[in-house]
Chains A and B, each alone.
Chain A
Amino acid sequence: MDLEKLKNEAEKEVKKAKNLKKLDEIFKKYLGKKGEIARVFTSLKKLSKKERKEVGREANLVKIGIERLIKEKSKKLKEETRKLKLRKERIDVTRPGKKIEAGHLHPLTLVQREVEEIFESMGFSVIQGPEVETEWYNFDALNIPKDHPARDIWDTFWLKNQKLLLRTHTSPVQIRYLEKNHPPLRIVVPGRCFRHEATDTSHDVQFYQLEGLMMDKNISVANFKAVIEEFLKRFFKTNIKIRLRPGFFPFTEPSFETDLQCTICKGKGCSVCKNTGWLEIIPGGMVHPNVLKAAGINPKNWQGFAFGAGIDRLAMLRYKIEDIRLFYSGDLRFLKQF
């Protein structure tokens, strides 16, 4: 057969092919085992050596040509088919996503972690202590004498037939830690505390406190201010304003209340700050020499600050929660929001 003609016919057919099936047929017809080109090669046997070489080379060229044509056409057809198919495929992107049922961490856990991380980044170690305490650690060692009205500040749960109590604050851990560790030191102590008092939206029989203690040679009120300011700034992720005013705690001297300018109304006055523009947030002071003595530390050599932040209160401000009792309700309608 005339190779030139063969090539032309193949070209024409490829051009006309409308789909991959047809193209496949064309491939078989020309390039298949029994196709036209194969036949040309078979017929070569009959030719002289010289002709054989010449025709063979030409047939090969034609073969390669047709192959390329088919390949190109196939690519084109596939592209067209895909486009056609894609045009028909679609999803409704506005339908709701499929929910993955993970659980939820408690808001106090979330806030506690955040607070711990901030203090850890400032070099404070996180320490824990017991929830049931002796009178010595909870009161006496903290310079709160027996039968003194100062004790009335801490309404206390006592255990029956035992001289033990439920700790009213995390401060006992100051003593426990100082007995075993020597300054310089920096610790924070998160933990559950208890008060024997009527409950309302801002008081419950149990709550979480974070005790802080930093001791060194020259730790001052100015240092307390800087550390607390930095903590509050990072926790509320905004520029905050604080003020220090006099307070009284038997275990610190001087003692102060740290007020935070209300994060809700920015100091203008609202229900959260009872229209004062300020929130009493972190009581603290310089550790009283009697406390250091009780823990076996010489107050002539070491000084430092201590404070106690309410974790429930921080969480309430963070999430705008109005009732502290929700934390201990186990109500999933509440917990699932965190």
Chain B
Amino acid sequence: MLFSYNWLKDYLKGKMPSPKKLAELLTMHSFEVESVVKKGNDFVLDIDVLPNRAPDCFSHLGIAREIAAILNSELQAPDSKSEEDQKLKAKDFVSVEVKNKADCSRYSAKVISGVKVKSAPKWIQERLKVCGLQPINNIVDITNYVMLETGQPIHAFDLDKVGKKIIVRRAKRGEKIKALDDKTYQLDGDILVIADQKRPIAIAGIKGGEKTGIDKKTKNIVIEAANFNQRVVRQGSRKLKLRTDASWRFENGITPELVDLSQERVASLIQKIAEGKVAQGLVDFYPKKILPKKINLDLNYLEKLLGLRISKQKVLKILKSLDFKTSEVGPQRIKVGVPTRRLDVLIQEDLIEEIGRIVGFQDIPSTFPRAALISPEKNEELFWQRNIKNILKEAGLSEVYNYSFMGEKQRGIFNWSKGDLTELANPMSSFNRYLRSSLIPNLLRNIKDNLKHFDQIKLFEIGKIFIKKQNLREKKMLAGILTRKGIKDEGFYELKGMVDSLLAKLGIADVWYDDYRQTPELSEAEIWHPQKSAEIKSNGEEIGFLGEIHPKVMENLDIKERVFVFDVDFEKLLKLASEEHEYQPISVFPAAIRDLAILVPVGTKVVEILNKINIGGGKLVRDIDLFDVYSGQGIPQGKENFAFHIIYQARDRTLSSKEIDEVHQRIIKALEENPAWEVRR
């Protein structure tokens, strides 16, 4: 909110610091001052009043009181005396009816007759302009001036255009009103209005009606100062998309006690400036008077919470300067009466904050806590996450952080049904209509973007995805992606090698790969190439997928290169990972290598051959290494040649070549049990 430096100065007894110094003091003790700008012979201070202090500090008096407290100075209240005309009685002109006191806890009307409507004096106009308001005429300007001064929104009606009775009620469906901004608003039961017997004359706490507004011919006026329910005003303001200086203040809440001072102040100014006669009395609906709250303050607790000892004398002085009433009820206990305008002060801690900030939080020393030495718990998930990230980085993958969202277009490309996705109620745009149900779509976007600049791309991401079943479930996933210009099937094996080495380093042994099968739960979604994808399995369950992305997806995304991906359930990985690692003694006896080449029908899986070799060889086979796959010239049509190194070694002895030959023969026999397989000799 914008404040006038000169205006604030008026309320301060004693010397006012320079604008720059003032800004610094307010920032350190009350609210951040965002800027100080010279305007004419005044300065505009843009003060970021904290939301909880809106009730008392959306006003020059409120800020002045802060300054007085910070400077240990005194506040000088403005003159609010007016002379009431004994012959006129307010209640003879208007009466007030409030339909529901929950909507309006106070409604006051003051009547002033015989006003002369003209331009306001220059000093009022200038102050309004400094604070960002446009001068209109003396009556309206005075109501605005008093609002900026006290924080109480005030409205003036032309008495002669208003019926005798003012009613505060909810609008009826179908009612409408043309407001002072010349726009017509459709009203309904969510909106509170001020009405006379016939029609709404103002939107309560938001804006006045055009028909009952002040114009040049206005002679007699009704001044409204009221207190409307903050939720009702907020609801109405949102519904009508109309925010005003008044609605803003009511939304944040103000005390009904503010009415008296504001009415007096308005009357006093109008009498002086617009020469009106003030009718006697205030027509005032105020069924439940607000009394100051009382809070006990324990000085020992104050010291314990701030970590700073402050003398009782100083505490009393600070509280007094902020207009709190105090009485000592014990050596370390003070009973504090809270001014009604301080809606933010409810408990002892609120008072401690007041004292802390006026003393200055910056004056509190830094002191390390004294606490029991407890070593932090190890976070297993983060431990493994750090490890996994390091392993993948060393394997050449770079980490990305993508958005947790997916767009409508992505949904279409992967053929996800809407029912399987979690939709946002208020997306920013179509780009984040859904929560991501897989890391893959955004990784593919990364591929597409980066192919403009790089020939080879290897990325990974660890992040949460959102699965919609009966309940929404968050699931942490790990995915990696690989492509390069002209990549072929070897991409699959490269990525498979990375997954293998990752799993090995995590201590997950027992890993195998099965042909990918579209699972019914993934319904129609299309991600994987049906022939070039695998399920990664360990310990009897599927932990993820590895494979090439479906060519249809690639076509729709307009990515020219083939792309390979692994997508693993991070939580399952975590369960399988183990730090336990047992040392395997190194055999002191020499190893021997025999090569074996075998001719098999195309489509035979390496794992089938390996299984046979292991069955035939038993525990003397230490390792098997596939070193060549060949088909084409010299190989019969429909056949493929695989060549292996088989490494033989025993723990307890040197194997004789006779022994090795025997085992090797057993392996060949085992392989040739399959009539379509032929070991080449």
Contact = CB atoms under 8 A, between A and B. Distances in A.
Interface in B299-356: 304-308, 347, 349-350, 352-353, 356
Contacts of A164: 472
B399 A221 contact: no
B594 interface: no
Contact of A153 (B51, B349, B364, B370): B51
Given A103-B396, A186-B376, A223-B368, A303 B305 contact: yes
Contacts of B405: 205
B470 to A, nearest CB: 12
Contacts of B231: 147
Interface in A247-289: 247-248, 250, 253-257, 286, 288-289
B528 interface: no
A123 B474 CA distance: 29
A224 B276 CA distance: 58
B379 A127 contact: yes
Nearest to A228: B366
A216 B379 contact: no
Contacts of A253: 347, 349-350, 352-353
Interface in B377-420: 377, 379, 381-382, 386, 389-390, 392-405
Interface in B645-669: none
A200 B373 CA distance: 44
Interface residues of A, number: 77
Given A104-B393, A132-B472, A214-B369, A245 B307 contact: no
Contact of A105 (B28, B399, B403, B458): B399
A135 interface: no
Contacts of A246: 29-31, 50, 353, 357, 361
Interface in A300-324: 303
A311 B366 CA distance: 23
Contact of A216 (B369, B393, B404): B369
Interface string B209-237: 00000000000000000000011001100
A22 interface: no
Contact of A149 (B251, B371, B422): B251
A106 B399 contact: yes
Interface in B428-478: 428, 432, 435, 442-443, 445-446, 449-450, 453-454, 457-460, 463-464, 466, 472, 474
A124 interface: yes
B425 A186 contact: no
Contacts of A149: 51, 54, 230, 234, 251-252
Interface in A125-154: 125-128, 130-132, 147, 149-150, 153
Contacts of B305: 220-221, 254, 286, 303
A254 B367 CA distance: 17
A29 to B, nearest CB: 42
A150 B50 contact: no
Contact of B373 (A123, A223, A288): A123
B133 to A, nearest CB: 22
Contacts of A332: 398, 450, 453-454, 457, 459
B474 A130 contact: yes
B106 interface: no
A192 interface: yes
B374 interface: yes
Contacts of A205: 403, 405, 428, 432
A286 B349 contact: yes
B242 interface: no
Contacts of A250: 52
B379 A128 contact: yes
Contacts of A237: none
A244 B401 contact: no
B299 to A, nearest CB: 14
Given A104-B393, A222-B308, A254-B356, A328 B401 contact: yes
B371 A216 contact: yes
B466 A244 contact: no
Interface in B1-57: 27-32, 50-54
A80 interface: no
B353 A255 contact: yes
B585 interface: no
A288 B52 CA distance: 14
B379 A206 contact: no
B27 A245 contact: yes
B463 to A, nearest CB: 8
Nearest to A155: B426
B461 to A, nearest CB: 9
A84 interface: no
Contacts of B443: 330
Contacts of B464: 131, 192
B423 interface: yes
Contact of A126 (B252, B352, B367, B382): B382
A195 to B, nearest CB: 10
Nearest to A215: B371
A244 B428 CA distance: 35
B365 interface: yes
Contacts of A216: 369, 371
A219 interface: yes
B372 interface: yes
Contacts of A227: 368-369
B603 to A, nearest CB: 34
A184 B374 contact: yes
A247 B361 CA distance: 11
Given A157-B426, A162-B472, A221-B356, 13 more contacts: A103-B398, A105-B398, A131-B474, A132-B466, A150-B52, A205-B405, A205-B428, A206-B403, A218-B304, A229-B366, A248-B52, A288-B349, A330-B449
Interface of B: 27-32, 50-54, 230-231, 234-235, 251-252, 304-308, 347, 349-350, 352-353, 356-357, 361-362, 364-377, 379, 381-382, 386, 389-390, 392-405, 422-428, 432, 435, 442-443, 445-446, 449-450, 453-454, 457-460, 463-464, 466, 472, 474
Q: Shortest 3 CB-CB distances between A and B: which pairs?
A: A222-B307, A220-B307, A254-B353
30 contacts: A103-B394, A103-B399, A105-B389, A106-B401, A123-B374, A123-B376, A125-B379, A128-B381, A131-B404, A149-B251, A149-B252, A214-B371, A218-B370, A220-B367, A221-B307, A221-B308, A222-B306, A222-B366, A223-B368, A227-B369, A245-B29, A246-B29, A247-B50, A248-B53, A253-B353, A254-B353, A289-B349, A303-B305, A332-B453, A332-B457
